[in-house]
Structure 1
Amino acid sequence: MRLKDTESGRTLRCTLGLWLVLGGIAACERINPSTSRTHTPPPAIATPVATEQAKSVQAAQDVVISNASDRIIEGVGKLRPAVTRCYRSYAIAMMKATGEVNAISIEVSAVLTQQGRMTQTRVEGLPRGDQEQAFRACLTGVFEALKLGQQSSERTIQKKYNFSASQRRR
């Protein structure tokens, strides 16, 4: 059946042509999705509500850090209190400095003999770079003193491994 060259016939042909073109474009986008347009959301604007939420998230992270450091030192129960404080505060400072609470897993397993000497240690997932070196130095100071059975103190560790008082108080 042939459409007559009337106003309604022209409109129908234009509509069919338009649908064919749009169908072809849709088919091409399905075949090659890299050509399709992507929508980028506008940048977020800092509002008082967002700032308050960020503060509450930070507070929650601080609690997680504190609990994690408590668990870290649980297994090393025979350390003298001064050394334990030094180690705990440094662990908290290192975890805060990285800013990636969930990505950092610090595990210290200690097997202590009845004399309080350490026979085996395991440290995994420490922060990278200089922080890692400093953290390892602090751990080494604590563990080395235990292995030798010495009466360790914060001052001994501070002198031997350059662990300053400002870092200890963080």
Structure 2
Amino acid sequence: MGSGVACAAMVVGIIALLVFVVGFGAPYWIWVDTNDLDSHSGLWMDCNSQDGAILCVQTVTEKSTEDWMRGAQGCEVLGFLLGLGGVIMAAIWICKPRTVALMWITFIFFLLAAIFGAIGIGIFAAKVPKSENLHFAFYLTICGCVLYLFTGILAVIGACSE
């Protein structure tokens, strides 16, 4: 049963990582559409469109980026890196079956990825003005965190079944 759980963890982990990457990389965490201005932004870029002209500014290189945004960016990057580490650990777990320690390490990676991703999401959501609408990339990142957690649970099931 352990190898089946390992394969399931690997597949769900890859899906979680892909969903997370699309979510945290897209500049559509918030979307504001008024009569004369269309604005959308994410962790890495703010874009404004007026009269057909689009102006985008990268928040990573912008010195005026607020500290809360830097904190959200850092947490999301940690979520990505830990999720990637979890996928790598799941791949090793498949190659070395019956290794309970690898299963627990996989669990820890995915649990930490979910926690750091959720912290970044919470920071961002707490600071976004209420008049702005959270958009699809924000929710994709949440889905990625939930899938990270589910993958971690699969790793625990695998560890307990060995």
Higher RCO structure, 1 or 2 (CA under 8 Å, sep 6+): 2
Question: With structure 1 as the length reference, what TM-score do the two structures score?
Answer: 0.32
Greater fraction helix: 2
Greater fraction strand: 2
Question: With structure 2 as the length reference, what TM-score do the two structures score?
Answer: 0.33
